[in-house]
Amino acid sequence: MPATRNGCKTIVCVALMVLLGACSPADKPATPAPETAKQTPPATPAVTRGTELPSFVNLVKQQGPAVVNISATRQGSSIPMRQGDPMYEFFRRFGGTPDMGETPAQSLGSGFIISQDGYILTNAHVIDETDEVTVKLTDKRQFKAKVIGADVYTDVALIKIDASALPVVKIGDPAKIEPGEWVAAIGAPFGFENSVTVGVVSAKGRLLPSGSYVPFLQTDVAVNPGNSGGPLFSTAGDVVGINSQIYSQTGGYMGIAFAIPIDIAMDISKQLRETGKVTRGRIGVQLQELTIDLAKSLGLKEAQGALIAAVQRGGPADKAGIKPGDVVVSLNGQPVQTIADLARLVGGTKPGTAASAEVLRDGKSTNVKITPDALEK
């Protein structure tokens, strides 16, 4: 089932304590109970009696005004008259079928303000190939937006409206959020502006078969068409991600949604703001995820790192001495646990800048210097 671009139940366990008493006959003295070994107290349950669910009222009041509704219009193509139309045969015989003109197509999405002077983050697919982008604020003001740039690789776009003193969101750290934590999304599903949905983080570092290597945050927050580009908030009121895709067989919400970590999005927005485009590094390798069996065969104790499956001849990795079968475990001091980590770190390295990589080869660690070149689109 493909991921499509564009809830949560809490079981409270109540412990019931049952007091058991024993009575002895009135004419016999009570027999003292034998001494028993001290028992280890039971572990504290994950959800205790009296636990309250989080309230998102203050979060919505404080951060909601910084969430915007985006409508993008693109010019459509002409629609020919189809067979079966009552007038089709008439026009076919007398002068051919008429031109029905062009019908503009419109897409709806969400976004959020990251600067008081009007810079807004959203998804690239919300504003891709559009002729006009309109931003509507919670106070009903509308602005025509300028597209600063978009990065299809990560599905991040930066737009700007001509305004000042705007409310802005607080940027959080997705590395600090854990599976099971509550999160909230604010957006415009199906055009219903400023809708709030809540759920939990289901997993971190999810890789989708789109080839982007973005380590998505997976949630069970209800996300539908129109939520795309909207913010994902932690309970502290910080943005930790941009709602981007859903996993669905129907095109609607089915309990699995994916958000782009906000740190990745902010790095992309910085490049878009400075140059209008994103430049990525590449080292010319094909990567393979490590399994336990592969790790053992390579003499490794654990399946962590990015396995080099193939090396491009004459590429940066080849020049640095990287070989198939090497396992990269860190780049510039940053740990590499999966192929997504390496792809992200290499992509974030400025082309022409030397990077230090720790590589495991034949069970031994070695350091190499790699100078990525530019990734051609």
Predicted TM-score (pTM) of the model is 0.75
Provide the domain limits for residue 78: 60-160
State which of 160, 181, 208 marks the end of a domain: 160
Q: 133: burial class by Cβ within 10 Å (0-12, 13-18, 19+)?
A: buried
> Angle at CA 39, nearest 5°, toward 38 and 44?
140
Residues annotated catalytic, as ranges: 125, 155, 228
Long-range contacts of 268-271 (CB under 8 A, 24+ apart): 268/151, 268/154, 268/156, 268/158, 269/114, 269/119, 269/121, 269/156, 269/158, 271/149
* 344 assigned to some structural domain: yes
Write down the pLDDT at residue 65. Answer: 97
Two structure tokens written together for 273: 């703001």
SS3 310: strand
Q: How far apart are CA 145 and CA 121, in angstroms?
A: 12
Residues 315 and 369 in one domain: yes
Model confidence pLDDT, tens digit, residues 150-198 = 999 899 999 999 999 999 999 999 999 999 999 999 999 999 999 999 9
Q: d(Cα 172, Cα 264) in Å, to the nearest integer?
A: 12
DSSP secondary structure, 139-174, as one string: TS-EEEEEEEEEETTTTEEEEE-S--S---PEE--G
Look-up: residue for tokens 């990795």? Answer: 317
Tokens encoding 248 = 């669905």
**DSSP code for 269:** H
Q: How confident is the model at residue 332 (pLDDT cuts 50, 70, 90)?
A: very high
Confidence of residue 103 (pLDDT cuts 50, 70, 90): low
pLDDT of amino acid 1: 52
314 φ, ψ (degrees, to nearest 5):
80, 0
Residue 286 lies in a domain: yes
pLDDT tens digits for 223-245?
999 999 999 999 999 999 999 99
pLDDT at position 211 is: 63
Residues paired with residue 42 on neighbouring β-strands, in sequence order: none
Is 137 a member of any domain?
A: yes
pLDDT, tens digit, for every residue of 308-320? 999 999 999 999 9
Q: What is the CATH number of the domain that holds 236?
A: 2.40.10.10
Q: Please identify, among 142, 160, 178, the residue that sits at the C-terminal boundary of a domain.
A: 160
**Number of domains the chain is built from:** 3
With a cut of 90, say whether residue 85 has pLDDT above it.
no
Q: Are residues 194 and 235 in the same domain?
A: yes
3 state SS of 370: strand
Residues 254 and 318 occupy one common structural domain: no
Q: Which run of H or of E encompasses 270?
A: helix 262-275
Any idea what the CATH number is for the domain that residue 308 is in?
A: 2.30.42.10
User: How many percent of the chain have pLDDT more than 90?
Assistant: 59
Does residue 369 sit in the same domain as residue 300?
yes
Judged by DSSP in three states, 266 sits in helix
pLDDT recorded at residue 117: 97
Q: Is residue 2 part of a domain?
A: no
Give the mean pLDDT of 328-350: 90
